[in-house]
Chain A
Amino acid sequence: MLAETLGRFLQKRYPVEVRHEISASAAGWSSAHWAELAELGILGGLVPEAAGGFGGSGFDIAAIFEQLGRAMAVEPFLGTLMATRTLAMVGGHDELIGDILGGASILAFAHEEPTSRYDLTNIAARARLDGDTWLLNGSKAVVVHLEAADDIVVSARIAGARGDRAGIGLFLVKRAAAGVGVEGYPLIDGGRAGELQLANTPSTLLTDDAYPVLEDVVAAGIVALSWEAVGIMDMIKTTTLDYLRTRQQFGVPIGKFQALQHRMATVALEIEQARSAAINAANGLQGDRAKRERSASAAKYTIGRAGTLVAEEAIQLHGGMGMTWELPVSHLAKRLIMIGHQLGDEDHHLARFIAFEQAA
């Protein structure tokens, strides 16, 4: 129901020309579209009922992000999902969640650091208590829609060293707080992100035992990205099939050549495997830690591997036309490849999956 509403909205109000215009704008997203989506209640689908939303399950997230993928939406959905999920898990922030779901406030999620390379424990930013104020120091890398944020959820070490699970805290930082440095830039696949510098920045403690929260929130983010990828891959499949059926060379549509038929069959097979992996991850999000983390890593690995194959084959099967800015397929391919650079790549999740297997 929510997905249908969102799908209709995006089809009508977010055609690819509008998407490109928004993506290339100074803000890198559309606050007008965001307000309408909030009005339609779409954002509520990201958050559980107990925290003021009416969704938040793996399959709620899946349904929304699949539509976002199809439209290549650049709006700050991922940060909103991860930040509101954090706030809902730690509790006591219903008013802020209400503001976010109403479209009045934007949050970013800042965990990854310049050299952490997807490892959730590889955190060097420090938090120290000064009187009764937590002060943060450190850097966060490629924070999506950082410039748009009113508040930022930030991880930082209260104790321990890089690589320790214990001692990580999550904090809420006002974008306008003292010592917040933001350097924004465009992304190759559309929209914007930024580098965050914190220098004795005052913040509010959300939790001093962040690792279990981070795992759950990142797993939810992986469900979101996996389904965004599934939406993209379905669009790629449609447009590539269309091209194979209409592009003529040697007097016939190129889809008549068996070499291309078999490659397209492999693409179709990989998309279905990727969809199944994404279903497993959405289902696993409600499970215990082992089930959730195992299915999330399996999905992100699968999406990374299949996504690269589907993106590269889509360009190849389109020939020179697949290399052009003009055709949407090139933008779908770029986003699909770049999903592999968010929340862990193929190798990272393969290693993680192996670690879970060996621990079991």
Chain B
Amino acid sequence: MNLDFTPEEEEFRAEVRSFLKAKLPARIADKVRTGKRLHKKDHEEWHSILHERGWLASHWPTEFGGPGWTTAQAHIFDEEVSLAFAPRVVPFGVSMLGPVLIKYGTSAQKEHWLPRILDGTDWWCQGYSEPGAGSDLASLKTSAIREGDHYLVNGQKTWTTLAQYADMIFCLVRTSTEGKKQSGISFLLIDMTSPGVEVRPIITLEGEHEVNEIFFTDVRVPVENLVGEENMGWTYAKYLLTYERTSEARIGAATAALSFLKEVAQDEEKGGRPLAEDPFFAARIARVEIDLENMKTTNLRVLADSASSAAPLELSAMLKIRGTEIRQELASLTRIALGPYAQPFVSEALDEDFPGPPIGPDYAAGIAAHYFNERKLSIFAGSNEVQREIITKVSLEL
């Protein structure tokens, strides 16, 4: 099996690198590298730079404004972008809704919404989880009742990432209570400025506001905002989730995190020598590095096996589990590397205009908070327990 990229693909990699070198603002890359806070404008700035080059929606077909890359090219692009410490493209519009609209949307929906995703007119968020429907997503209760030319939506969504910035939300809603719980779900696009939509922040353990609860009270949604057929939303959601899980392998992000860990371990001292030379710590780094090397090949095998970007369910589950475990371990080792300086936490020091001197090493400010935040990786996008269930049932047939 040849795992090497072709000369054309390597040429493409060089092209991506030179683009990043010229266009990725150093200010933004530095924030990503050291775990500083990214604001809405940072994301928008980076999106517009990518859009200008035609590279924002890396896996969309050309007819909708994508670059028309092969899966290998999209993979190379993701890897290079992460290694350069570019922010991750905010996935909700580009990576989640976009592919669903392209596959299941009407031509009117595609013409209206896709260009607005690319040019940043609409910031999208994802309305899936509910307080009573987490791992058991299909038990969701938010209801949409058809009344003439609109739906009346009532209910609550939760863990909605960056909803505080969002103009629009794509939601799974219940349009029928008959039959299996999966069969009464529809996929609806809702304007966040509609009367009856209320966003409340959820503060996470490290003190940040990243996720939200959203309450819907008699919210009127035009019927043309239904994607696909009524009661077929679970099919579309599964398509989207498969994409989400595959992308959660985040090989590039893990590779970048490994290089940051090595940088920290080189700078930290133990007994007057770099921590990286301590046999105990070197072994910890080596173990995760080997796991990541293996994961890269697993990922390439998945890419090679799948004609589309949607991998087989059990393989995408494996990528999600091990990909998130690796990133959590890297965040954990970077925290451990800091020694006593993992403890100080000056929240304002995560802002770019913080005037104060750093506490301890200049890279330390966000590391422990990042470690705690990364605990979410094994919980969200289908908890790793749910992924193991998928492997057990779909692949192992137990």
A interface, CB within 8 angstroms of B: 112, 114-115, 117-119, 122, 141-142, 162-163, 183, 185-189, 193, 195, 248-250, 254, 257, 259-260, 308, 312, 315-316, 319-320, 322-326, 330-331, 333-334, 337-338, 340-342, 345, 347, 350-351
Contact = CB atoms under 8 A, between A and B. Distances in A.
Contact of B380 (A163, A254, A320, A350): A320
Give me the 4 closest cross-chain CB pairs, A-B, nearest first: A188-B345, A330-B205, A249-B136, A325-B203
Interface of B: 129, 132, 134-136, 139, 158-159, 202-207, 268-272, 275, 278, 280-281, 284, 332, 335-336, 338-347, 357, 359-360, 368-369, 371-372, 375-376, 378-380, 383-385, 388-389
Main secondary structure of the interface of A (DSSP, over half): mixed
In this complex, which of B281, B284, B339, B388 has the most chain A Cβ atoms within 10 angstroms of its Cβ? B339
B205 A323 contact: yes
B254 to A, nearest CB: 18
B368 to A, nearest CB: 5
A243 to B, nearest CB: 12
Nearest to A112: B340
Given A188-B368, A323-B375, 16 more contacts: A117-B268, A189-B343, A193-B343, A257-B385, A259-B388, A316-B378, A319-B135, A320-B129, A324-B205, A326-B203, A331-B205, A337-B371, A338-B342, A338-B368, A341-B338, A345-B336
A73 to B, nearest CB: 16
Contacts of B369: 188
A190 to B, nearest CB: 10
A354 B341 CA distance: 26
Nearest to B270: A117
22 contacts: A112-B340, A117-B275, A118-B339, A141-B340, A142-B344, A185-B344, A188-B372, A249-B135, A312-B375, A316-B379, A316-B383, A319-B135, A320-B134, A320-B159, A320-B380, A334-B205, A338-B342, A341-B338, A341-B339, A341-B342, A347-B336, A351-B280
A291 to B, nearest CB: 24
Contacts of A342: 340, 343
A153 to B, nearest CB: 17
A249 B130 CA distance: 11
Contacts of A248: 132
A187 B343 CA distance: 5
Contacts of B345: 185-188
Contacts of B389: 259
A23 B73 CA distance: 50
A183 B275 CA distance: 26
A324 B339 contact: no
A348 to B, nearest CB: 9
A163 B380 CA distance: 46
A250 B133 CA distance: 9
Contacts of A345: 336, 339
A229 B384 CA distance: 27
Contacts of A351: 280
B161 to A, nearest CB: 11
A193 B380 CA distance: 34
A211 to B, nearest CB: 16
Contact of B379 (A162, A188, A319, A350): A319
Main secondary structure of the interface of B (DSSP, over half): mixed
A326 B132 CA distance: 17
B203 A322 contact: no
A185 B359 contact: yes
Nearest to A142: B340
Contacts of A347: 278, 280-281, 284, 336
A115 B385 CA distance: 40
Contacts, number: 137
Given A117-B270, A119-B271, A322 B375 contact: yes
B9 to A, nearest CB: 38
B385 A259 contact: yes
Nearest to B136: A249
A225 B269 CA distance: 24
A149 to B, nearest CB: 17
Contact of A193 (B278, B344, B347): B344
A320 B378 CA distance: 10
B336 A333 contact: no
Nearest to B343: A187
B266 to A, nearest CB: 13
Contact of A319 (B134, B203, B206): B134
A126 to B, nearest CB: 17
B205 A319 contact: no
A334 B280 CA distance: 24
A187 B344 contact: yes
B203 A324 contact: yes
Contacts of B388: 259
In this complex, which of B270, B346, B389 has the most chain A Cβ atoms within 10 angstroms of its Cβ? B270
Nearest to B271: A119
Nearest to A351: B280
A324 B375 CA distance: 11
Contacts of A316: 375, 378-379, 383-384
A341 B367 CA distance: 13
A115 B269 contact: yes
Contacts of A320: 129, 134, 158-159, 376, 379-380
B341 A141 contact: yes
A186 B280 contact: no
B358 to A, nearest CB: 11
Contact of A325 (B204, B378, B385): B204
B269 A325 contact: no
A119 B278 CA distance: 13
B355 to A, nearest CB: 14
Contacts of B129: 320
Contacts of A254: 135
Contacts of B203: 324-326
Contact of B280 (A141, A315, A325, A350): A350
